């Protein structure tokens, strides 16, 4: 028997072809629990199921071959590895179709990355209805699936559910803001007992900046499976002779040490191997959006800059409203010229002022979109996504530019070149995208290939993003799509952070950031203090400080006390941000189903602990132990809770633990713990 072993630290996958040529999965799990050699190979599940082969099972590949046949049955046709990367070639028994399973182990983060290449090796086209990235077989007595969703301002609302017989599908639609509805990550717990610190869980994330799909299948005799990849509905493809379709990848990590460990591995993977400049410390941002919205004027902005610098912020971000005639969201997307009615001298005086105040300057753009009320749309009505003879429905008064057209890609790249070239000193862009694709059609695609838009538009967008990143290596990019609509580990290759959610009520943010932390490290989760929810500014600061901190407040109307609180928060954040942004996250007390939360970021012998009591919490309760603390080593406790009077500050732990804050919720405690 030829065994193919893919080792990635604590995650191990073993595959082998049977006598009939079919490829079976012998093992996915920790390295120590290998395959049971006593079982006949044919009893092991298939490594990659196809339509028409296994009756009553979900397929990972479905093709209509050139001869009209709809079944695919794959047999092993050789395996090779280059370095640590494995390629296992499977071919159909009749049709000229090759399906190559590809695996890239990441032993430093205990994860395996997987993708599939589907090749039409015949001389006539075939139709590819579905091509998942991976479909590992799983076993276990009581499988549970955890997934997230929630839509605008409700990102990362969790669901954990037991899986009954049949298939549970969770998927996204809309193509642009996919992770607003369905972040591309799930957890599979074989016995449903995994906790943060113990138990077995498989985490999987599809690296794709478009729609994704997870099919969690529970079949008789414990033959379960998790099929993951890009969304297949509406994404059918014609595969021409000689064409090879490469799927997006999916990253798997198998943890026998609970959910927290799986998240920490994904964070390490993101920081080390995905996120642009992943090791770089992120700046503290002062943004104008919730401060002044579209009401921009030179004096008002100068006053915001002045206050932002005085409070210790490092980057001033001018959000929406600076271009065209943009007094609200009904016009001007596409017309990327400074609105001289609002800023008669242009942007440069504001940029210069910001730089002179010792801060960096950032600017908001939404380059993939156009308002119908714009010069761009008047000049190029054919540049948008749409279908002949169908309505062009506007969402937030806008349409999606068709990046499948090369001239539109060139326009977007040139626009960003021009905005940056005309304004020396911009080193940060917030790249937004505020509507989904509906009526998905493209004039760049032939009538029989309209459904190619689903993948081609994502790839075209990636191409544009990659080109912008290549041309402007010194400009940091924030990824925003009506909040966290683009929270995936593919697009982040060109971006430094995401805007986690438009919901900035810190009470909601405790839960949203908690959910987001299952995939994304704190360094990339933009978290700003605003007036949303009418909470105390000190509490808003304490929540934002557990991620990438910023403010989105009218800084000219802060009370004196609030100004002191924000300045204190910025200073405290700068002291702890290396631990918060780059340390290991431990989620200690969950706000899911409760009104309190505790988490700690740990780096070496330093820990920063955040405790939040939310409205409804009665107070009291046991202090929260600091993870990884040796009770015999004396520690220094520094209470960094913004706004807390010096007399009330915590100076020692209670039996190695941090007590919950007293007083009316919402209220927080932040402490830094270091060895003496």
Q: Does residue number 568 form part of the binding site for ligand GLA (CB under 6 A)?
A: no
Three-state SS for 242-273 is CCEEECCEEEEEEECEHHHHHHHHHHHHHHHH
Contact stretch for ligand GLA (CB under 6 A) within 87-95, 248-256, 478-486, 516-524 = 478-486
Largest CA distance in the chain: 81
State the Cα–Cα distance between residues 333 and 320, nearest whole angstrom: 10
Nearest to 42, CA basis, from 51, 57, 54? 54
- Closer residue to ligand GLA, CB minimum distance, 215 or 503: 503
Q: Does residue number 339 form part of the binding site for ligand GLA (CB under 6 A)?
A: no
- Closer residue to ligand GLA, CB minimum distance, 476 or 502: 502
Contact 655, 629 (CB under 8 A): no
Contact stretch for ligand GLA (CB under 6 A) within 216-224, 230-238, 454-462, 475-483 = 475-483
Candidates 102, 309, 359, 480; binder of ligand GLA (CB under 6 A) is 480
What residues numbered 501-520 form the site for ligand GLA, per CB under 6 A? 502
- Closer residue to ligand GLA, CB minimum distance, 17 or 483: 483
- Closer residue to ligand GLA, CB minimum distance, 528 or 644: 528
Among all chains, which residue has been given the structure tokens 């304004």?
423
Q: Does residue number 331 form part of the binding site for ligand GLA (CB under 6 A)?
A: no
Contact stretch for ligand GLA (CB under 6 A) within 67-75, 82-90, 476-484, 577-585 = 476-484
> Can you name the residues that pair with 128 across neighbouring β-strands?
63, 237
Nearest to 572, CA basis, from 298, 377, 311? 311
Torsion of the alpha carbons at 519, 524, 528 and 534, rounded to the nearest 10? 0
What is the nearest approach in angstroms of ligand GLA to the Cβ of residue 461? 17
Contact 581, 521 (CB under 8 A): yes
User: Helix 560-582 crosses helix 298-311 at what angle (to 10 degrees)?
Assistant: 60
What is the nearest approach in angstroms of ligand GLA to the Cβ of residue 289? 5
593, burial (CB in 10 Å: exposed 0-12, middle 13-18, buried 19+): exposed
Contact 246, 121 (CB under 8 A): no
Site track 392-431 with ligand GLA (rule: CB under 6 A), x = hit: ----------------------------------------
Contact stretch for ligand GLA (CB under 6 A) within 1-9, 205-213, 218-226, 479-487 = 479-487
Q: 3-class SS at 115?
A: strand
What residues numbered 357-386 form the site for ligand GLA, per CB under 6 A? 364
Torsion of the alpha carbons at 410, 413, 419 and 423, rounded to the nearest 10? -130
Contact 222, 88 (CB under 8 A): no
What is the nearest approach in angstroms of ligand GLA to the Cβ of residue 182? 18
What is the nearest approach in angstroms of ligand GLA to the Cβ of residue 366? 7
What is the nearest approach in angstroms of ligand GLA to the Cβ of residue 355? 22
Active-site position among 110, 502, 503, 508: 502
- Closer residue to ligand GLA, CB minimum distance, 318 or 626: 318
Site track 261-300 with ligand GLA (rule: CB under 6 A), x = hit: ----------------------------x-----------
Candidates 110, 217, 319, 402; binder of ligand GLA (CB under 6 A) is 319
245, burial (CB in 10 Å: exposed 0-12, middle 13-18, buried 19+): middle
Site track 613-652 with ligand GLA (rule: CB under 6 A), x = hit: ----------------------------------------
Give 199's contacts (C-beta < 8 A, 6+ positions apart): 189, 191, 193, 256, 258, 259
Known active-site residue 92: no
Strands 11-17 and 23-29: antiparallel
Candidates 146, 263, 371, 434; binder of ligand GLA (CB under 6 A) is 434
Candidates 113, 432, 456, 505; binder of ligand GLA (CB under 6 A) is 432
Q: What is the CA radius of gyration of the chain?
A: 26
State the Cα–Cα distance between residues 415 and 424, nearest whole angstrom: 15
What is the nearest approach in angstroms of ligand GLA to the Cβ of residue 297? 18
What is the nearest approach in angstroms of ligand GLA to the Cβ of residue 285? 12
- Terminal-to-terminal C-alpha distance of the chain: 58
Q: Does residue number 483 form part of the binding site for ligand GLA (CB under 6 A)?
A: yes
DSSP 8-state symbol, 43: G
Q: Does residue number 320 form part of the binding site for ligand GLA (CB under 6 A)?
A: yes
State the Cα–Cα distance between residues 449 and 234, nearest whole angstrom: 11
Active-site position among 335, 432, 490, 503: 432
Give the binding-site size for ligand GLA (rule: CB under 6 A).
12
State the Cα–Cα distance between residues 193 and 338, nearest whole angstrom: 56
By beta carbon distance, the residue nearest ligand GLA is: 320
What is the nearest approach in angstroms of ligand GLA to the Cβ of residue 580? 22
Phi, psi of 184 (to 5 degrees): -80, 50
What is the nearest approach in angstroms of ligand GLA to the Cβ of residue 395? 12
Question: What are the structure tokens assigned to 166, written together?
Answer: 């049949």
Known active-site residue 456: no
What is the nearest approach in angstroms of ligand GLA to the Cβ of residue 153? 10
Site track 104-133 with ligand GLA (rule: CB under 6 A), x = hit: ------------------------------
- Closer residue to ligand GLA, CB minimum distance, 252 or 361: 361
Going from the C-alpha of 578 to that of each of 212, 252, 276, 358, 574, the distances in angstroms are: 33, 27, 17, 21, 8
The residues that are catalytic are 432, 502
Binding site for ligand GLA (CB under 6 A): 289, 319-320, 329, 364, 432, 434, 480, 482-483, 499, 502
């Amino acid at each position: 028997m030829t065994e193919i072993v893919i080792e990635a630290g604590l995650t191990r996958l073993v595959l082998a072809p049977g006598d009939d040529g079919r490829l079976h999965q012998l093992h996915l799990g920790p390295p120590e629990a290998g395959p049971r050699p006593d079982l006949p190979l044919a009893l092991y599940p298939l490594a990659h199921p196809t339509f028409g082969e296994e009756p009553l099972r979900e397929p990972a590949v479905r093709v209509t071959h050139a001869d009209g046949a709809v079944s695919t049955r794959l047999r092993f046709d050789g395996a090779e590895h280059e370095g640590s990367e494995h390629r296992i070639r499977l071919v159909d028994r009749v049709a000229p179709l090759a399906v190559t399973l590809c695996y890239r182990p990441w032993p430093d983060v205990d994860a395996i990355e997987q993708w599939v290449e589907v090749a039409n090796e015949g001389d006539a086209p075939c139709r590819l209805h579905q091509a998942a990235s991976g479909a590992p077989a799983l076993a276990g007595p009581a499988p549970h699936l955890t997934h997230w969703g929630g839509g605008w301002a409700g990102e990362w609302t969790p669901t954990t559910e037991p899986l009954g017989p049949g298939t549970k599908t969770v998927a996204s639609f809309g193509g642009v803001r996919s992770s607003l509805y369905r972040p591309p990550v799930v957890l599979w717990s074989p016995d449903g007992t995994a906790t943060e610190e113990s138990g077995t869980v498989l985490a999987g994330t599809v690296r794709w900046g478009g729609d994704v799909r997870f099919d969690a299948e529970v079949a008789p005799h414990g033959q379960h499976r998790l099929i993951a990849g890009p969304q297949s509905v509406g994404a059918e493809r014609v595969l021409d002779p000689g064409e090879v379709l490469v799927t997006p990848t999916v990253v798997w990590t198998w943890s026998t040490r609970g959910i927290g460990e799986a998240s920490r591995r994904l964070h390490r993977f993101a920081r080390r191997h995905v996120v642009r400049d992943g090791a770089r410390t992120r700046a503290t941002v002062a943004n104008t959006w919730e401060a002044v919205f579209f009401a921009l004027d030179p004096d008002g902005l100068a006053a915001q800059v002045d206050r932002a610098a005085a409070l210790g912020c490092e980057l001033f971000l001018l959000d929406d409203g600076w271009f065209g005639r943009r007094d609200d969201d009904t016009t001007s997307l596409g017309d990327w010229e400074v609105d001289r009615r609002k800023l008669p001298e242009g942007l440069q005086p504001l940029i210069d002022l910001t730089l002179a105040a010792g801060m960096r300057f950032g600017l908001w753009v939404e380059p993939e979109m156009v308002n119908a009320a714009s010069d761009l749309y008047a000049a190029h009505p054919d540049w948008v996504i749409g279908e002949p003879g169908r309505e062009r429905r506007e969402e937030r008064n806008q349409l999606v530019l068709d990046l499948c057209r090369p001239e539109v890609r060139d326009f977007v790249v040139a626009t960003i070149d021009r905005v940056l070239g005309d304004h020396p000193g911009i080193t940060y862009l917030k790249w937004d995208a505020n509507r989904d694709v509906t009526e998905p059609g493209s004039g760049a695609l032939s009538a029989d290939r309209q459904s190619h838009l689903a993948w081609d538009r994502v790839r075209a967008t990636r191409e544009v993003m990659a080109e912008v990143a290549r041309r402007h290596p010194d400009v940091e990019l924030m990824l925003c799509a009506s909040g966290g609509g683009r929270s995936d580990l593919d697009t982040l290759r060109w971006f430094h952070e995401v805007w986690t959610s438009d919901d900035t009520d810190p009470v909601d943010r405790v839960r949203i950031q908690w959910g987001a932390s299952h995939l994304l490290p704190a360094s990339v989760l933009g978290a700003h203090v605003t007036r949303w929810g009418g909470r105390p500014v000190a509490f808003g600061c304490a929540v934002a400080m557990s991620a990438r901190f910023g403010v989105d407040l009218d800084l000219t109307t802060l009370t004196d006390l609030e100004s002191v609180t924000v300045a204190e928060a910025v200073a405290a954040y700068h002291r702890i941000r290396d631990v918060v942004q780059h340390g290991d996250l431990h989620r200690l007390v969950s706000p899911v189903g409760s009104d309190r939360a505790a988490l700690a970021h740990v780096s070496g012998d330093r820990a920063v602990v955040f405790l939040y009591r939310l409205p409804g919490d009665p107070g009291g309760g046991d202090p929260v132990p600091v993870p990884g603390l040796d009770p015999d080593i004396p520690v220094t406790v520094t209470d960094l809770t913004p706004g807390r009077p010096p007399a009330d500050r915590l100076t020692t732990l209670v039996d190695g633990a941090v007590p919950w804050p007293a007083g009316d919720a919402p209220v927080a405690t932040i402490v830094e713990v270091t060895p003496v």
